[in-house]
């Protein structure tokens, strides 16, 4: 269930009335759901823009259409509008949009991927780097491959040992070690040269 505050509904009605198009509504969709880069997209939509797979929420004076494929990610979302000195701020809180952390019954692969995608990858991306999971062997050794600014970086060994390995061991039971499968002798633009 998505909730829309009275202030947000009033804000949408004000904007929609200025458009002058009969039946125009608001469409809400999840962009890159289930990932650390997940976000919400809100846009005007005319009746001809709808494909019939949307979930419709009737509001006072307009309809909110939720993209059908986005409903699982936008469940429990809250839309609000707060007036302030510069006009106002529309906020959308969607607690499930980035996915839920795998439970204790999830596989070690699912849990490692979640931590990599949601905790480690965003930090590496700040330096232009990226990491992918190659494999997890029967002994719990996680094998990673680095790219971007991490490929050929002089600090990658420290990043693996002091950052990624410590994080994965603490967060994912069964991880015993982390190894790097990347050939760092090359690398187009390492963050820190060797």
Q: Note down pLDDT in tens along the chain; length 194 residues.
A: 899 999 999 999 999 999 888 889 999 999 999 887 899 999 999 999 999 999 999 999 999 999 999 998 999 999 999 988 888 899 999 998 988 888 888 999 999 999 998 889 888 888 888 999 999 999 999 999 998 888 888 888 999 999 999 999 999 999 999 999 988 777 667 666 66
CATH 2.60.300.12 applies to domain 3-93: yes
Cβ contacts of 39 within 8 Å, gap of 6 or more: 30, 31, 32, 97
Cβ contacts of 182 within 8 Å, gap of 6 or more: 144, 145, 146, 147, 150, 151, 156
Tokens of 78: 């809250």
Tokens of 15: 């904007």
Specify the CATH class of 108-180 in words: alpha beta
Using alpha carbons only, how large is the chain's radius of gyration in Å? 22
Place of tokens 């930090």: 123
Q: List strands edge to edge, sheet with 141-148.
A: 129-136, 141-148, 177-180
Alpha-carbon distance 171 to 115, whole Å? Answer: 8
Cβ contacts of 17 within 8 Å, gap of 6 or more: none
In the prediction, which pLDDT does 193 show? 65
The SS3 call for residue 76 is coil
pTM of model > 0.75: no
Q: What are the residues facing 35 on neighbouring strands?
A: none
- Give the single-character DSSP code of 23: T
In the prediction, which pLDDT does 87 show? 83
Tokens of 80: 């609000």
Q: Nearest Cα to 113, choosing from 159, 180, 171, 70?
A: 171
Alpha-carbon distance 190 to 151, whole Å? Answer: 6
In the prediction, which pLDDT does 194 show? 62
Q: Would you say 133 and 116 are in contact if contact means Cβ atoms under 8 Å apart?
A: yes
Where in the sequence of the chain do the CATH 2.60.300.12 domains occur?
Answer: 3-93
Tokens of 125: 């991306």
């Amino acid at each position: 269930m998505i909730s829309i505050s009275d202030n947000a509904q009033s804000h949408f009605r004000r904007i929609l009335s200025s458009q002058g198009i009969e039946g125009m509504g608001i469409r809400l969709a999840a962009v890159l759901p289930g990932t650390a880069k997940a976000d919400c997209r809100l846009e005007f939509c005319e009746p001809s823009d709808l494909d019939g797979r949307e979930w419709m929420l009737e509001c006072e004076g307009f309809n909110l259409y939720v993209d059908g494929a986005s409903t699982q990610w936008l469940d429990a979302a809250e839309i609000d509008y707060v007036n302030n000195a510069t006009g106002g701020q529309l906020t959308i809180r969607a607690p499930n949009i980035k996915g839920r952390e795998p439970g204790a019954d999830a596989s070690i692969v699912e849990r490692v991927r979640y931590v990599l995608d949601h905790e480690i990858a965003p930090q590496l991306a700040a330096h232009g780097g990226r990491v992918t999971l190659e494999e997890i062997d029967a002994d719990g050794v996680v094998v990673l491959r680095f790219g971007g600014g991490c490929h050929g970086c002089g600090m990658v060994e420290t990043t693996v040992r002091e950052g990624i390995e410590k994080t994965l061991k603490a967060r994912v039971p069964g991880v015993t070690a982390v190894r790097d499968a990347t050939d760092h002798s090359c690398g187009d633009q390492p963050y820190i040269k060797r």
